Amino acid sequence: MYKKWLRYLPLLTALVFLATCAPGKDSYRQGQELSQMGNWEGAIAFYKDALAQEPNNKTYQEALQKAQQEAAKKHYQRAVNIWNGAAVKNYQAVTRTMESLNKALAFDPENKDIVALHQQIEAKKQELTEEAKKTYQKGVTALNNEQWLEAVTSFRKVNDIYTNYEDTVDKLAIAVAAGTDEYYKQGIAAVQREDWKGALDSFGKVLAIDFTYKNTKMLVEQVKKNDNPEYFLGRAAEMASANEWDRAVGFYETALSYPPRDPKIKSVLIKA
C-alpha cells in the first residue's frame, strides 16, 4: 500500500507546486491584504492583474466584483455627504458631488442608488446651467442699457449659481465701476439740489453695489438729517424772508409731501 502511494508522490508534488505557483496568486494575495485594510481601489488593481494572468479564475472574479462594489459604495457615500453638507446647492456643489458619483458609477454601474443619485444631480446641473445662462443674458442686457444696479445684481447671482460662468467676472467688474461712479455723481447732484430723497436713492444704489465706496455712508447720514419737513419749513422761511416766493412755495410743497401732513403747513403755503 505504501509503495502504491509512492508511485503518485511525484504527481502530487507537481500539483502542489503548480497550485502554489499559480500565475495570479501573488497579485490576488496582495489584493486580499489591501481589501482587509479597506483599500478597495488598491485591491482592484491587483485583482485585475491576477485575472489578466488567470482570466477564468472565479475566485479572482468574485474578489474583483466585491472590491468594485465596496469602492463604489465608498465614493457614493462621499457624494451623499458632499451634497447633503452643501449649504448652497450651486454648480460648485454639483461638480464636487459628481466627481465622487462618476467614480462610484464607474466601479458599479448597476447600483440603483448610485444611478438614481447620479440622475438627480445631473438634472440639477442642467437646471443650474440654464438658470445661469438666463441670468447672465439678463445682466448683459442691463449692462448694455447702462442699468448698472440691475447688471450687478444679475452677475452676482450668476456667480452664486455658477462660479466663473463665461466672462461674468469681467462684466461684473465693469458694472460695479460704472455703477458706483454714476450713482455717486447723481447723489452729489441731488444733494446740491437739496433733493434729499433723490440723494438717498442714488447713494443707496452705490452702497448696494459697494458698501465701502468713497464717503457714501457719511453722506447718507448727513442727508438723512435733512430729509424731514422741518428742514424744508426752515428753508421756506429763509426764502420768504428773502422775498424769493417761488422757492419758498417749492420748499413748502416739499414739506407737505412728508407724512403725516401738517395742516399748519398748508395754511402757510396758501398765505405764501
Please write the tens of the pLDDT for every residue from 136-158.
999 999 999 999 999 999 999 99
Residue-level pLDDT at 24:
79
Residue-level pLDDT at 179:
98
Contacts of 112 (CB under 8 A, 6+ apart): none
Residue-level pLDDT at 5:
47
**Helical pair 168-192 and 112-144, crossing angle rounded to 10 deg:** 40
pLDDT in tens, 212-260: 999 999 999 999 999 998 899 899 999 999 999 999 999 988 988 888 6
Among 83-97, 168-182, 225-239, name the one with the lowest average pLDDT.
225-239
4: pLDDT strictly greater than 90 = no
Residue-level pLDDT at 16:
46
164: pLDDT strictly greater than 50 = yes
Return the HEC string of the chain.
CHHHHHHHHHHHHHHHHHHHCCCCHHHHHHHHHHHHCCCHHHHHHHHHHHHHHCCCCHHHHHHHHHHHHHHHHHHHHHHHHHHHHCCCCCHHHHHHHHHHHHHHHHHCCCCHHHHHHHHHHHHHHHHHHHHHHHHHHHHHHHHHCCCHHHHHHHHHHHHHHCCCCCCHHHHHHHHHHHHHHHHHHHHHHHHHCCCHHHHHHHHHHHHHHCCCCCCHHHHHHHHHHHCCHHHHHHHHHHHHHCCCHHHHHHHHHHHHCCCCCCHHHHHHHHHC
